[in-house]
A and B are shown apart, each in its own frame.
Chain A
Amino acid sequence: RKEVEQDPGPFNVPEGATVAFNCTYSNSASQSFFWYRQDCRKEPKLLMSVYSSGNEDGRFTAQLNRASQYISLLIRDSKLSDSATYLCVVGLSSNTGKLIFGQGTTLQVKP
């Protein structure tokens, strides 16, 4: 079983749609959680951290369910520029700073 699992997609949605991505992780001792965005042939860029209380940044909302070891990302009012691969990332409990990346979910927003 992969340490961080995501549906690779692709998710093809029209502009303005709301789309949700899910992610599960296997290590219950994981301490930090993130969503990164990666454009083709580029490095990943931090989209947002994810907290147990849930957090929102503009059109993006992230949720964490520690009991179910489940993380979600909701994108409202999709823009063409949102087309990218979204990586679910989990930080382990030690202080090594080790991050485990999911395979990523590809989003294509179409006009």
Chain B
Amino acid sequence: GAVVSQHPSWVICKSGTSVKIECRSLDFQATTMFWYRQFPKQSLMLMATSNEGSKATYEQGVEKDKFLINHASLTLSTLTVTSAHPEDSSFYICRADKEGNEQFFGPGTRLTVL
């Protein structure tokens, strides 16, 4: 089956630093990728929809200048958390859709900001 990978799987960083998370579709091309965030005991919240070659569409309340999304190729989308703060600590999950709307989630990246 299709596989979506994320790197890194976990990261600890100091407050004020930037962190880049990669999402790759390993055996299919994904024109659309989605980025979610999940805080403990809460549901997955969609942050943004990323389309290859164009600007991402952000959900209401998500700062586009803080969460930079780049979808440079059909197999790679990156999320950069700029100037991370402790409140950004969360589980970040990407999703890549195969043609025919099959949905595949990455294994997630656990970010801890000290």
The residues of A with any CB-CB pair to B shorter than 8 Å are 4, 8, 41-46, 87, 96-104
Contacts and interface: CB of A to CB of B under 8 A. Distances in A.
A98 B101 CA distance: 11
Contacts of A43: 93, 105-108
Contacts of B108: 41-43
B67 interface: no
B103 interface: yes
A44 B91 contact: no
Interface string B63-92: 000000000000000000000000000010
A101 B101 CA distance: 17
Interface residues of B, number: 22
Interface of B: 32, 34, 36, 41-46, 49, 57, 91, 93, 95, 97, 101, 103, 105-108, 110
Contacts of B44: 44, 87, 101
What secondary structure prevails in chain B residues at the interface with A? strand
Of A87, A101, A102, the most chain B CB neighbours within 10 A belong to: A101
Given A42-B107, A43-B107, A44-B105, A97 B43 contact: no
A41 B49 contact: no
A92 B62 CA distance: 20
Given A41-B110, A43-B106, A99-B95, 9 more contacts: A4-B43, A43-B108, A96-B57, A97-B101, A98-B34, A98-B49, A99-B46, A101-B44, A102-B43
A46 B101 CA distance: 13
A101 B43 contact: yes
Of A87, A99, A100, the most chain B CB neighbours within 10 A belong to: A99
A31 to B, nearest CB: 11
